[in-house]
Amino acid sequence: MVGARITAIGTYVPEKRLTNYELEQMVETSNEWIIERTGIHERRISRPDEFTSDLCEAAVKDLMHRYDKNVEDVDMIIVATSTPDFPFPSVSSIVQNRLNIAQTGAIDLSAACAGFVYALHTAHSLIASGLHKKILVIGADTLSKITDYTDRSTCILFGDGAGAVLVERDEQAKSFIGFHMGSDGSGAQNVYRTGLSKKVNGIELVDTQYLVQNGREVFRWVVRNIPKSVHQILEKTQTSLEQVDWFIPHSANLRLIEPICEKLGYPIEKTLYSLINFGNSSAATIPLALDLGIRDGKVKNGDRVLLYGFGSGLVHAGQLLDIDLDEQVNEPRPL
């Protein structure tokens, strides 16, 4: 198989902060209660005229600035999102036009909070097959636009953000070590937003424009299944937990990450998440957490990192990576 390497990363979050103290004025909650239950202190909220495509464009421009990268020769753009600007055209086609990439494929991928890892796997497959050479992978969501700010069980969780990486053909080095993915559609009714159909698995759904989540059932499913799936990646790649330098699960909720680490026997101190200041930004949480680790000097070239995303569907996907980014030319802009 042809080698593929992640060569650059960029991220973006909107300027507007929504703090726990501000949420106290909107719903019956408190800063202390939110932190105790979720670990989240604040989240970023996109402007009314700012959409997922805008966040994607900004994340790619951050990547280009930091690594002095040219994207004009990108031959595929994959955007993982559950909150596209439109049902169609795709976010990826809008990004293609704004970045003036003349000849490229452009697709959106829908795998909810596991979307970024699914998109990485797809990019690796396209390059490993020999069909593509340079792919932009973006995970981005504007969940604030589909959040009900009268529902205290969900509005405390979600925020907006984007993360982008460049995956390039490389005959000498390989980033992608192993993966595992799956789905359990029997739980599809536990996280949804209604569309053309108002029923799933024979169950009538709440017909609303907002995201609906049964947090308790999702929690149970994740804690029961994700640790086992992580071990499948380790077994397939003959990797021990001690060889994993950093674990980056989807930043849904710190109280969900903690039992995953406990069941794995993996230290929370070596687990990276982006939820404290950015909340649950769906497909953006994992690239944001990875980039925060890089910005903080924790994640370095030569490190082995295990990503694991999970979300509505119930879909999940993990990827074991060796970090080998190009050298940064410019300092990242502050988040």
Maximum pairwise Cα distance, the chain:
56
Q: Which of 20, 190, 253, 280 is catalytic?
A: 280
To the query of whether residue 250 is one of the catalytic residues in this protein, the response is yes
**Residue 250 Cα distances to 74, 208, 280, angstroms:** 27, 25, 8
d(CA 55, CA 13): 7
1: pLDDT confidence band, cut at 50, 70 and 90?
Answer: confident
* Distance linking the first and last C-alpha atoms of the chain: 37
Bridge-partner residues for 183, per DSSP? 315
213: pLDDT confidence band, cut at 50, 70 and 90?
Answer: very high
Q: What is the pLDDT of residues 257-309, one digit of tens each?
A: 999 999 999 999 999 999 999 999 999 999 999 999 999 999 999 999 999 99
Q: What is the pLDDT of residues 77-110, one digit of tens each?
A: 999 999 999 999 999 999 999 999 999 999 999 9
Has this prediction a pTM greater than 0.95?
yes
Q: Which of 155, 250, 253, 316 is catalytic?
A: 250
- Average pLDDT value for residue range 128-134: 97
Contact 268, 257 (CB under 8 A): yes
Q: Which of 113, 121, 155, 253 is catalytic?
A: 113
To the query of whether residue 113 is one of the catalytic residues in this protein, the response is yes
Contact 41, 203 (CB under 8 A): no
- pLDDT for residue 206 is more than 80: yes
65: pLDDT confidence band, cut at 50, 70 and 90?
Answer: very high
Q: What is the pLDDT of residues 150-167, one digit of tens each?
A: 999 999 999 999 999 999
Q: Which of 263, 264, 248 is nearest to 310 (CA)?
A: 248
Residue keyed to tokens 């330098």? 245
d(CA 64, CA 330): 10
Q: Which of 81, 70, 98 is nearest to 146 (CA)?
A: 81
Q: What is the mean pLDDT of the chain?
A: 97
To the query of whether residue 124 is one of the catalytic residues in this protein, the response is no
Residue 2 is predicted with a pLDDT of 87
d(CA 252, CA 210): 18
215: pLDDT confidence band, cut at 50, 70 and 90?
Answer: very high
